Amino acid sequence: MVFFGSKRITRNFRNQSIFLKSRNRKIPRKKTSRKFYIKKSLVRDSFFRKAVIHAYDYRCSLCNLKVIKSLSQSIVDGAHIKPFAQFYDNNINNGISLCKNHHWAFDRGIFSIDDNYQVLISDNFSEESPNSKPIREFQGETILLPNSPTYFPSIEAIQWHRQNIFRQ
């Protein structure tokens, strides 16, 4: 992957979306169209992940962990704030960069984010963390945000997450 500026990420993301939509319209509905849809989803998911983690400098927005083996292998995921399976929203603003552990915890409502991008922790889980910072200690901390406010998580999306996923 080549590193590029924020405006170029957005332009490439939009172009990819338009290209995939136009290609999808030209394909007749046959048994193969389902395979194409799966392939299209994988391409979009891959681009979403790369765009989100690039915006966060390949770091977990909660714990700031950054581990890279190559430009295509990183410990962080581009996590959807509002689930893609429900909203089909692959916009960068519906994404947050999280390491594997914190992605899992976010998806299960163990933590969320307030409108000031500060961490909220659920009381509804148990934890033992002898070798790393416990999730509970992130309470009230501000998450790592992208350098450009253009890519900050959508307030509407994080409000939806708090109301529908977060378990206080």
pTM: 0.74
Beta bridge partners of residue 79, listed in sequence order = 96
Alpha helices in the chain (DSSP H): 6-26, 31-55, 84-87, 100-107, 155-164
Average pLDDT, the chain: 83
Element (H, E) at 77: strand 76-80
- CA dist 75 and 97 (Å) reads 10
pLDDT value, residue 39:
46
Q: pLDDT of 22-66, one tens digit each?
A: 444 444 444 544 554 444 454 457 889 999 999 999 999 999 999
pLDDT band at residue 168 under the 50/70/90 scheme: confident
Token representation of residue 45: 């998911």
